Amino acid sequence: MTQDRFTGVGLGLRRPHLEQVACMDHHGVPFWETCPENVVGDGGRQHRLACAILDRDPVLTHGLTISVGGFDAWDEDYLRDLGDFLIRTGTPWHSEHLCFTSVDANCLHELLPLPFTREAVRHTIKRARDLQSRLPVPLLLENITYYAELGAAEMDEADFITAVLEGAEVGWLLDVNNVYVNALNFGFDPKEWLARMPLDRVVQLHIAGHKKFGGLTVDTHGAEVIDPVIDLMQWTLARLGRPVPVLLERDNHIPDFDILLAERLRLQRAYDAALAAVEVRHD
Amino acid sequence: MTETRTLHLQRAMASLVLDADEAALEADPGRAARRHGLSGADQRAFREQGEAMLTYRELARMSLIEPLEEMFPVLKALLESEERWDPCVQAFLDARLIRSGHYRDIAPTFLGWLATTGWGQERWPFLLELAHAEILEVLVARFPEADPPEGLHAEPGPGDLVVLAPATQIVSYSHAVHSVTEDAPVPEVRPTHLIAFRNGDGEARLMELTPATAALLVQAQSRPLGDAATALTIPDLAPVLDLLNDLRRDGAIAGFQTPT
């Protein structure tokens, strides 16, 4: 599923950087990730700049509020616009979160955890398959950070994710920071957790920063990526043995673009080193 | 829709996030599960993970309330001065109106709720105008891109209709709500007419209009310019045509149309 032009470490396209990025012919970012909800149906200067960049550079798309595990009917108008947008950007796939975001037509604008139950697995598989049938490109699902299990669980998170990915026959957007944060909050070894997972389904990685609030670590996307998470990314790439694209997420406390470029470069070097080690192992 | 345990669990989570009774939820996070008829095991899961469940309440409410705080700073300052901001936000959340998956739609939805319910407007008659003025430039700045109307010409004549650009808004307030600040959030009573539009670079611009110009711009969209000027007892059309030319060059007016 991975296409050759999508390798290396990309960045999320964010409004504070649009003016600067639009003027740069050689920014060195191999691809951008954009949230269609923030572009579709928008207008004005920032929108025009975003579209100019998305029309110029390689793009992956990542949805926020479609509520794959929810019960609300799809917004057919939005799905039509989304499909047009995915085709326009040329994205090879579209990712959504394995969660619910709306209930009884009320959008909560938060990635909320699905119950780890057999019923929720069946429901989410059905919804993901239905959503896939309405999209012009393959659907990926991303593992989220969760802070509590919703209701009494019948299985653990790893089994839940595996059952949904395999039942829906979709690819996996593996967020290594989410695995790390969940490991901190629930007290497990992230590498042992990953070793149990269907890594053959991984198409893309996410990486980000997080922060501790009281007894809980929260996936803030508002800080630099720490070394143990970079190590987990490298471990995962080595285990995969192939160059899937990695996306650095930064949505809060967004630094100047130059600082973000420097962080991207640091991650790119780690990425290259991990893949070089894979090649040496195979030689 | 089949009523399933998964759906009831999701509804319980929505209650936990949106409901008003924070103290009761803190004392017993299981009450959200109980309200939705969930089993003892599910209620226990809510209770035993109380701190984490309340973190979800905090995170989700922050997501929903932040755009209101960012878009309506003067309204917030006004209401906070009488400890009414939090009740206002809670009343809005209670209405369960946030339907759109576009984050940018939360603030306009709040404005629509203020208009529909009249919340706070007995105490502050200018409240809706204030909220509208605070968000006006953003509404114009982010108005969805649209193809320009066709069949227009650039030079206005007395027999023409005015066709505004799709993003342009002409508004009239009873109060000078465009000149308030967080430190002085109460506007003076003064009829105020504004035109908000996007310039050629796609950036929002705001300009105060005289009452006659505002009326002309509204009327001349449906009757010829010359007729509108006569009805408004504007004696000389030449300066009006100059202004209309300027507004077209600036991007507020899409062009002029000969009535069919």
Q: Tell me: the pLDDT tens digits for B62-118?
A: 999 999 999 999 999 999 999 999 999 999 999 999 999 999 999 999 999 999 999
Domain tally for chain B?
2
Instruction: With CB atoms and an 8 Å threshold, state whether A216 touches B55.
Output: yes
B5 touching chain A per CB within 8 A: yes
**Going from the N-terminus, what domains does chain A have, and what CATH number goes with each?**
9-282 (3.20.20.150)
Q: Say whether the ipTM exceeds 0.90.
A: yes
- Of the three residues B16, B36, B65, the one that is the final residue of a domain is B65
Contact A120, B4 (CB under 8 A): no
From B11, B142, B146, residue closest to A104, measured CB to CB: B11
pLDDT digit string, tens, across residues B109-151: 999 999 999 999 999 999 999 999 999 999 999 999 988 888 9
Residues in A closer than 8 angstroms to B167, CB to CB, are: 43-44
Q: How far is it, in rounded angstroms, from Cα A145 to Cα B259?
A: 59
Q: Residue A263 to residues A179, A193, A268, A274: CA-CA distances in angstroms?
A: 21, 27, 9, 17
A150 touching chain B per CB within 8 A: yes
Is residue B100 one of the residues assigned to a domain?
no
Q: Identify the three-state secondary structure at position B199.
A: coil
Residues in B closer than 8 angstroms to A19, CB to CB, are: none
* Tens digit of pLDDT at every position of chain A (283 positions): 445 679 999 999 999 999 999 999 889 999 999 999 999 999 999 999 999 999 999 999 999 999 999 999 999 999 999 999 999 999 999 999 999 999 999 999 999 999 999 999 999 999 999 999 999 999 999 999 999 999 999 999 999 999 999 999 999 999 999 999 999 999 999 999 999 999 999 999 999 998 888 888 888 888 899 999 999 999 999 999 999 999 999 988 899 999 999 999 999 999 999 999 988 877 7
Phi, psi of A172 (to 5 degrees): -115, 125
Q: How far is it, in rounded angstroms, from Cα B128 to Cα B124?
A: 9
Q: Which of B88, B173, B79 is nearest to B124 (CA)?
A: B79
Q: At what angle do helices B106-117 and B50-71 cross, to 10 degrees?
A: 80
* Total residues found in chain B within this entry: 260
Is residue B120 one of the residues assigned to a domain?
no
| Local confidence band at B198 (pLDDT 50, 70, 90 cut-offs) | very high
Distance from CA of B188 to the nearest CA of A (A): 32
Distance from CA of B107 to the nearest CA of A (A): 13
The neighbour count for residue A16, using CB atoms within 10 Å, is 12
Q: What pLDDT sits at residue A281?
A: 76
Dmax (CA) for chain A in angstroms is: 56
Is residue B121 one of the residues assigned to a domain?
no
Q: How far is CA A78 from the centre of its chain?
A: 20
The amino acid sitting at A123 is H
Distance from CA of B236 to the nearest CA of A (A): 35
A148 touching chain B per CB within 8 A: yes
And the tokens for A47?
């929108």
pLDDT digit string, tens, across residues B3-39: 699 999 999 999 999 998 888 888 898 999 999 999 9
Instruction: With CB atoms and an 8 Å threshold, state whether A151 touches B104.
Output: no
A261-266 long-range CB contacts below 8 Å, 24 or more apart? Answer: A261/A27, A261/A28, A261/A29, A263/A224, A263/A225, A264/A9, A264/A10, A264/A11, A264/A28, A264/A29, A265/A28
Q: What pLDDT sits at residue B2?
A: 52
Q: How far is it, in rounded angstroms, from Cα B204 to Cα B138?
A: 7
What domain range includes position B173?
161-257
A81 touching chain B per CB within 8 A: no
Residues in A closer than 8 angstroms to B36, CB to CB, are: none
CATH number, domain with residue B244? 3.90.930.50
For B111-167, the DSSP string reads: HHHHHHH-TTTTT-TTHHHHHHHHHHHHHHHTPPP-PPPSS-BSS--TTPEEEE-TT
Q: What pLDDT sits at residue A3?
A: 56
For chain A, the DSSP string reads: ---TT--SEEEE--GGGHHHHHH-S----S-EEE-GGGTTT--SHHHHHHHHHHHHS-EEEE-SSS-TTS-SPP-HHHHHHHHHHHHHHT-S-EEEESSEEEETTEEEEEEEPPP-SHHHHHHHHHHHHHHHHH-SS-EEEEPPP-SS-SSS-SS-HHHHHHHHHHHHT-EEEEEHHHHHHHHHHHT--HHHHHHTS-GGGEEEEEE---EEETTEEE--S-SPPPHHHHHHHHHHHHHHTS---EEE---SS---HHHHHHHHHHHHHHHHHHHHHHHHHH-
And the tokens for B229?
């000027």
Distance from CA of B28 to the nearest CA of A (A): 15
Dihedral angle sign, alpha carbons of residues A77, A78, A80, A81: positive
Q: Which of residues 239-258 of A touch B (CB under 8 A)?
A: none
Bridge-based pairing state of the strands B253-257 and B204-209: unpaired
From A48, A114, A151, residue closest to B202, measured CB to CB: A48
Nearest CA in chain A to B42: A151
Residues in A closer than 8 angstroms to B104, CB to CB, are: 38, 42
Bridge-based pairing state of the strands A9-12 and A246-248: parallel
Is residue B4 one of the residues assigned to a domain?
yes
- Of the three residues B44, B65, B86, the one that is the final residue of a domain is B65
Q: What is the mean pLDDT of residues B205-218?
A: 95
B201 touching chain A per CB within 8 A: yes
Is residue B189 one of the residues assigned to a domain?
yes
Q: How far is it, in rounded angstroms, from Cα A176 to Cα B183?
A: 46
* Residue B1 confidence (pLDDT) above 50: no
pTM for the whole structure:
0.93
Is residue B219 one of the residues assigned to a domain?
yes
Instruction: With CB atoms and an 8 Å threshold, state whether A43 touches B167.
Output: yes
Phi, psi of A77 (to 5 degrees): -60, -45
For B217-237, the DSSP string reads: HHHTTTS-HHHHHHHTT---S
B147 touching chain A per CB within 8 A: no
Terminal Cα-to-Cα distance of chain B (whole angstroms): 51
- Of the three residues B49, B65, B81, the one that is the final residue of a domain is B65
pLDDT digit string, tens, across residues B37-57: 999 999 999 999 999 999 999
Residues linked to residue A107 through DSSP beta bridges, in sequence order: A102
Which is more confidently placed, B235 or A152? A152
Distance from CA of B39 to the nearest CA of A (A): 9
Distance from CA of A271 to the nearest CA of B (A): 32
Q: Which of B54, B94, B77 is nearest to B130 (CA)?
A: B77
Q: Residue B210 to residues A147, B8, B193, B215: CA-CA distances in angstroms?
A: 56, 56, 7, 9
Nearest CA in chain B to A152: B42
Is residue B78 one of the residues assigned to a domain?
no
Is residue B91 one of the residues assigned to a domain?
no
And the tokens for B78?
């006004």
Residues in A closer than 8 angstroms to B100, CB to CB, are: 107
* Total residues found in chain A within this entry: 283
Contact A157, A175 (CB under 8 A): no
Disruptive mutation site among B8, B9, B168 for chain A (greatest number of A CBs within 10 Å): B9
Distance from CA of B202 to the nearest CA of A (A): 4
Residues in B closer than 8 angstroms to A117, CB to CB, are: 5-6
Q: What pLDDT sits at residue A4?
A: 67
